[in-house]
Amino acid sequence: MDHSVQGDRHLRTDAERNRGRILVAARRLYSREGLHVPLARIAAEAQVGKATLNRRFPTRESLLTAVFAEQMERHAAAVAEALAFPDAWEGFIAYVEARCAMQAEGSDFADILTMTFPFAAALEDRRREAYEAYSLLVARAQRTGNLRADFRHEDIVLLFMANAGVVAATSHAAPDAWRRVARQFIRAFAGPGAPVPPLPEPPTRPQMFAAMQRAAPRP
C-alpha cells in the first residue's frame, strides 16, 4: 500500500478522534459550568492542544453548533409532533415521554429550550422557535383542563433533572425505570379527572438494590 495513502488515513483517524474528544469534553463542561467556559479549558479537558481545537472548530459558534444542533433539532421535532396531536393533552404526554427517552439514550441538557446561545445566532433562533412552540403546546393542554392550571415550565425542568438522575443510577440495572418516573410526573401534572396513561411496573427489588449500590458514594 502507498505509504502516503496510509499516512492520510492515519491523519484522518487522528483528526476524527480529536474531534470526538473535543465534543465530549465540551458537553461535559457546558453541562457543569455553562456556555461561557473558555475554549482553552475545553482543549485541556479533551487533552488536545488549543491549536488542534481551533483547527476543528475555528469559532465558538462552530463548536456550540456541533455540540447542540442535532439535539436542538430533535427537541424541535418532538414539539412539532406533539403539536400535531388532535388532543393537546395527549400531545403534551407524548412530548414529555419523548424528551425523557432522549435522556435515556444519552447526554441531554434538561433545559436546552430555555438556554440562550449568544455566540451562535442560528442556534439561538432555532431555540427560540422551539421554545415558542413548546409554550403553545402547554397553553393548549392547559385550555383543555387536563394539564394543571398551575403547571409552570420549571416543573418540567425539575422532571428532566430528576429523570437524568434516575437514568444515571438505573441505566445498567433497570434501563426502563425512567418510563415509570415519566408517568408518575405526568400524573402529577394532570388536572382533576384528566385521563392518564397506566404506570409501567416498577423495577424489581434486586434491580433497585443494584441501582442503589451504583448510586452510592464510593468510600
Question: Hey, how many other C-beta atoms are within 10 angstroms of the C-beta on 102?
Answer: 19
The string of pLDDT tens digits covering residues 12-64 is: 677 889 999 999 899 888 877 878 889 999 999 999 999 999 999 998 889 98
Q: What pLDDT is recorded for position 2?
A: 52
DSSP string of 3-56, one letter each residue: HHHHHHHHHHHHHHHHHHHHHHHHHHHHHHH-TT--HHHHHHHHT--HHHHHHH
Same domain for 23 and 130? no
Greater confidence (139 vs 157) lies with 139
pLDDT grade for 7, boundaries at 50, 70 and 90: very low
pTM tops 0.85, yes or no: no
CATH at 16: 1.10.10.60
| CA 122 – CA 55 distance, rounded (Å) | 21
Task: Evaluate whether residue 63 is within a structural domain.
Answer: no
- Structural domain for 82, as ranges: 68-215
Task: Evaluate whether residue 158 is within a structural domain.
Answer: yes
Same domain for 1 and 88? no
Same domain for 22 and 128? no
Cell numbers linked to 106: 444519552
